[in-house]
């Protein structure tokens, strides 16, 4: 239970990396770690600054799109200056593992901080925070008693009432991969066929846009990651806060496998010359105080057992989370994409 996962010649690749990131050497100095992060700077830098204050180890933060950072790591190869990769979704972490840009790292501290099902089953990466794929709905148009598991969203009763992102989105791909792991291809294909038929509009925008569409009456329910709703509810922007106030959150699959969850996570790069210090940073991010900060600022659930969620997250009530090892979400990604294509999910 959660109380409240082009090819360049080496010298040219290295030169490009140094120009883009402002780094001044082929590797980090002994007192510096270089972090490639798909998390926005505001969501991670305060913790990195705290790590530097405690250890004296400076951190160079390079932020960017997850796919772009992975491509950069692959192009840089052994010349990469990166020591650590921070990214979102177990699907992205698994891709980095499969691309051979990460190395396995082990320690009792890592094992204690990140539960086994929220980390790589081969120790290549570790979950740092949890996000849930939930249903948001319009309370004035939807009785929560009519909601249940994800499978129910394929019922014709929801025809023309569902908003969701495109099939190209990694969050949706990972959700379908989780279904494949638990229900198999035949049942997943049947669900996808009905689900796609119930779309209120062609998929467009991000998770925030799905929440706004429900609030605007364009659809009655939407699938979104929980932390987007949390971020909107804490926003000073009325265009974010007001739509979030008009929807409610429902935990699907309670008692039937648990709500689909995913992670943000980190892995030590294969190219690093400082694997011990990179491991030390992941261990720091899994500390109780760091985990509490994640919950408060990012509206994400802690991965560390015993760390309480923020007051906002706790207000949504306890929920049963799916306990599938998140490595399976990456391992089955290609099959999930094929299944979504068969269902003609745009």
Domain(s) labelled CATH 3.40.190.10 in the chain stretch across 10-130+262-309, 131-259+327-342
- Whether the Cβ atoms of residue 269 and residue 21 lie closer than 8 Å to each other: no
- For residues 27-39, average pLDDT: 80
Cα–Cα distances (Å) from 283 to 38, 46, 289, 306, in that order, read: 19, 16, 12, 16
pLDDT for position 342: 98
Percentage of residues in the chain having pLDDT higher than 70: 91
pLDDT for position 27: 44
- For residues 103-125, average pLDDT: 98
pLDDT for position 295: 87
Alpha-carbon span 116 to 95, nearest angstrom? 19
53-65 pLDDT tens trace:
999 999 999 999 9
221-280 pLDDT tens trace:
999 999 999 999 999 999 999 999 999 999 999 999 999 999 999 999 999 999 999 999
Q: How far is CA 343 from the centre of its chain?
A: 24
Indicate the class that CATH gives domain 131-259+327-342: alpha beta
Query: Directed axis angle between helix 170-183 and helix 333-342, to 10°?
Result: 100
pLDDT for position 9: 31
Q: Which residue carries 């080496």 as its tokens?
A: 10
Q: Three-class SS string for 289-342?
A: HHHHHHHHHHCCEECCCCCCCCHHHHHCCCECECCCCCHHHHHCHHHHHHHHHH
Alpha-carbon span 340 to 325, nearest angstrom? 22
Of 21, 43, 41, 40, give the one whose Cα is nearest residue 32. Answer: 21
pLDDT for position 43: 84
pLDDT for position 18: 34
Tokens of 184: 């198999």
pLDDT for position 14: 34
Cα–Cα distances (Å) from 248 to 144, 202, 243, 323, in that order, read: 9, 23, 10, 24
Which of the two residues, 25 and 295, has the higher pLDDT score? 295
Mean pLDDT of the chain: 92
pLDDT for position 186: 98
Q: Which residue carries 């320690």 as its tokens?
A: 107
Per-residue pLDDT at 24 exceeds 90: no
Say if domain 10-130+262-309 classifies as CATH 3.90.1150.150. no
118-175 pLDDT tens trace:
999 999 999 999 999 999 999 999 999 999 999 999 999 999 999 999 999 999 999 9
């Amino acid at each position: 239970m959660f109380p409240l996962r082009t090819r360049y010649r080496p010298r040219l690749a290295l030169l490009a990396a140094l120009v883009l990131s402002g780094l001044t050497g082929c590797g980090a100095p002994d007192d510096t770690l270089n972090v490639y992060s798909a998390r926005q700077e505001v969501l991670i830098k305060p913790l990195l600054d705290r790590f530097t204050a405690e250890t004296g180890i400076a951190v160079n933060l390079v932020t960017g799109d997850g796919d772009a950072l992975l491509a950069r790591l692959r192009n840089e190869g052994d010349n990469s200056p990166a020591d650590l990769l921070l990214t979102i979704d177990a699907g992205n972490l698994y891709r980095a593992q499969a691309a051979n840009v990460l190395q396995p790292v082990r320690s009792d501290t890592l094992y204690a901080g990140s539960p086994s099902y929220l980390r790589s089953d081969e120790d290549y990466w570790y979950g740092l925070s949890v996000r849930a794929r939930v249903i948001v709905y319009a309370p004035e148009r939807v009785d929560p008693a009519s909601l249940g598991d994800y499978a129910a969203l394929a019922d014709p009763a929801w025809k023309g009432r569902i908003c969701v992102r495109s099939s190209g989105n990694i969050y949706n791909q990972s959700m379908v991969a989780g279904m494949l792991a638990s229900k198999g291809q035949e049942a997943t294909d049947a669900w996808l066929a009905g689900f796609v038929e119930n779309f209120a509009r062609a998929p467009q925008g991000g998770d925030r846009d799905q929440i706004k569409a429900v609030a605007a009456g364009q659809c009655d329910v939407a699938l979104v990651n929980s932390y987007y709703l949390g971020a909107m509810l804490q926003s000073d922007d009325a265009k974010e806060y007001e739509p979030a106030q008009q929807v409610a959150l429902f935990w699907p699959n309670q008692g039937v496998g648990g709500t689909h969850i995913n992670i943000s996570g980190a892995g030590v790069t294969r190219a690093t010359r400082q694997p011990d210090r990179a491991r030390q940073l992941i261990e720091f991010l899994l500390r109780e105080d760091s985990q509490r900060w994640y919950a408060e600022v990012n509206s994400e659930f802690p991965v560390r057992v015993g760390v309480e969620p923020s007051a906002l997250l706790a207000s949504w009530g306890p929920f049963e989370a799916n306990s599938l090892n998140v490595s399976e979400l990456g391992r089955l990604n290609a099959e999930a994409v094929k299944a979504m294509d068969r269902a003609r999910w745009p």
